[in-house]
A and B are shown apart, each in its own frame.
Chain A
Amino acid sequence: MSEQNKSVQEKLSQLSELVTWFQGPEFKLEAAFDKFKQAETLAEEIEKDLTKLKNDIKVVKKKFDSES
């Protein structure tokens, strides 16, 4: 589960990098269209990943009613 979560984090980071590229000095019109398509794909994947992720909630077996 956390690996999937990590991949969402990576995709969010990649999206941020693309936004930074668009606003930075390395911006080139020739490459911008491909980068824009990448951003759209990432947004789609983030939606898909986040929608399907489930939490894993476990109650620990240890008892806390006495020192042991």
Chain B
Amino acid sequence: MENNQLQLSVSEFVALTNQTLDYAFPTVSVVGEVTEFRISQGKWVSFKLKDADAVVGCFLVLNQLRQPIQDGMKLLVVANPRLNNKGFFSLNVRAMKPVGEGSIKKGFDLLKAKLEAEGLFSPERKRTLPRVPQRVAVVTSTESAGYADFCKIINERWGGLSVEVAHTQVQGVPAPDQMIRAIRYFNSLDVLPEVLVIIRGGGSAEDLMAFNDEPLARAIAESRIPTLVGVGHEVDHTLADMIADVRAATPTNAAEILVPDRNEIIRAAHQRAASLGHQLTQAIDEYSQRTRQQLEAAYRRMQEKLDENFERLATLRLATAQLNPENILRRGYAFLRGEVVEGSTIEIETTNSIAQAEVKHVRTK
């Protein structure tokens, strides 16, 4: 044993090793399959990453876990290699994500089931958006095509909106935390926006993974501002849009849901005014018809009265005619004028003659 060799205490050795590791490998990215996944004391997460020939321990605190992990999933971890004071070498995980289609889907399904069990997707939780909001908050990357589409459509469809945009990353490891901060920022304003819109254009499953992050999903669920999330294309479903109050298929669709089409409103306003014109014409027609009917009814009543009176008149005429002395004479009777006493002269009138006669004899009946 050489005397001039550096002698270190165990603690010094561990510290020196960690310094060397920090210098040589400040962070490493390691891909492997998860095994022996464990959560201890509700606080610490440990698992091993393995491949065909080797295995390495990984460690993180529970609140760093962005989505449920299971043995068998393939993960990419970004970590600091450390030798701890008990002599165990491990990777202190800074960030991690499933890799490969199967693992991404597995992670998505596990988190979806977890959030679903908590009732976070239930329809009863969904709030409606105001029909015409005036203050809107948007969380997105202002450099994205999705944001440009969103602005184009809202400007075409509506005006007078006050829109505040929080520029964040929408993919990659930092994206979920940035979006969470933006959501919290808008929720902390004295005057809350009426709608919180989160948008991102299309991309691969891995690009959209930021929207399947558990803390982000929970931040959306906790938002005091009603949320509208449009991520990717029609076929893409992320946990962020499933948990939102309203899901839009795309950023363009989010703009269409957010504001009405001014041209439709203008058309509808003119149609409503025109419909009042039709109702007015109809009301005038109805009034005219009713007045005509009333006049006709009055005329009919007058006619009936007249007919009744004419009928009575005819009856009276007939009765009067029957009393006419001429008619009596025509029936063969005669009027006799003068005193009927013997020796007197009387006048006898028939229908066509007047005769004078002397009374020769009078006999009492």
Q: Is the CB of B161 within 8 A of A62?
A: no
Q: Is B348 an interface residue (CB 8 A)?
A: no
A33 to B182 Cα, complex, angstroms: 53
Q: Is the CB of A5 within 8 A of B134?
A: yes
A58 to B273 Cα, complex, angstroms: 36
A interface: dominant SS: helix
Contacting B165 at CB < 8 Å: which of A18, A27, A46, A58? Answer: A58
Distance (Å) between the CB of A20 and the closest chain B CB?
Answer: 11
Q: Is the CB of A8 within 8 A of B160?
A: yes
Distance (Å) between the CB of B252 and the closest chain A CB?
Answer: 16
Q: Is the CB of B162 within 8 A of A42?
A: no
Closest A residue, CB atoms, query B183: A64
Which of the four size classes fits the interface of chain B? Answer: 35 or more
Contact mask B178-191 → A, CB, 8 Å, 1/0? 11011001000000
A6 to B161 Cα, complex, angstroms: 11
Residues of B within 8 A of A52 (CB): 159
Given contacts A9-B132, A62-B166, A67-B181, contact A55 B276 (CB under 8 A): no
Distance (Å) between the CB of A63 and the closest chain B CB?
Answer: 8
Q: Is the CB of B165 within 8 A of A56?
A: no
Q: Which of B35-43, B202-210, B263-271 contacts A (4 or more CB under 8 A)?
A: B263-271
Distance (Å) between the CB of B139 and the closest chain A CB?
Answer: 9
Closest A residue, CB atoms, query B138: A57
Q: Is the CB of A2 within 8 A of B266?
A: no
Contacting A59 at CB < 8 Å: which of B165, B179, B279, B287? Answer: B165
Residues of A within 8 A of B179 (CB): 64
Given contacts A52-B159, A59-B165, A60-B166, contact A36 B276 (CB under 8 A): yes
Q: Is the CB of B132 within 8 A of A22?
A: no
Q: Is the CB of B167 within 8 A of A40?
A: no
Contacting A19 at CB < 8 Å: which of B154, B165, B185, B272? Answer: B272
Q: Is the CB of A47 within 8 A of B283?
A: no
Closest A residue, CB atoms, query B266: A47
Residues of B within 8 A of A16 (CB): 272
Contacting B273 at CB < 8 Å: which of A33, A40, A53, A59? Answer: A40
Q: Is the CB of B132 within 8 A of A5?
A: yes
A57 to B150 Cα, complex, angstroms: 11
Q: What are 22 inter-chain pairs, A to B, with CB distance below 8 A?
A: A1-B159, A2-B162, A5-B159, A5-B161, A9-B132, A15-B269, A19-B275, A19-B276, A42-B273, A43-B272, A47-B266, A47-B269, A55-B160, A56-B163, A57-B161, A57-B163, A58-B165, A60-B164, A60-B185, A64-B166, A64-B168, A65-B178
Interface residues of A, Cβ cutoff 8 Å to B = 1-2, 4-6, 8-9, 12, 15-16, 18-19, 22-23, 27, 29, 32-33, 35-36, 39-40, 42-43, 46-47, 50-60, 62, 64-65, 67
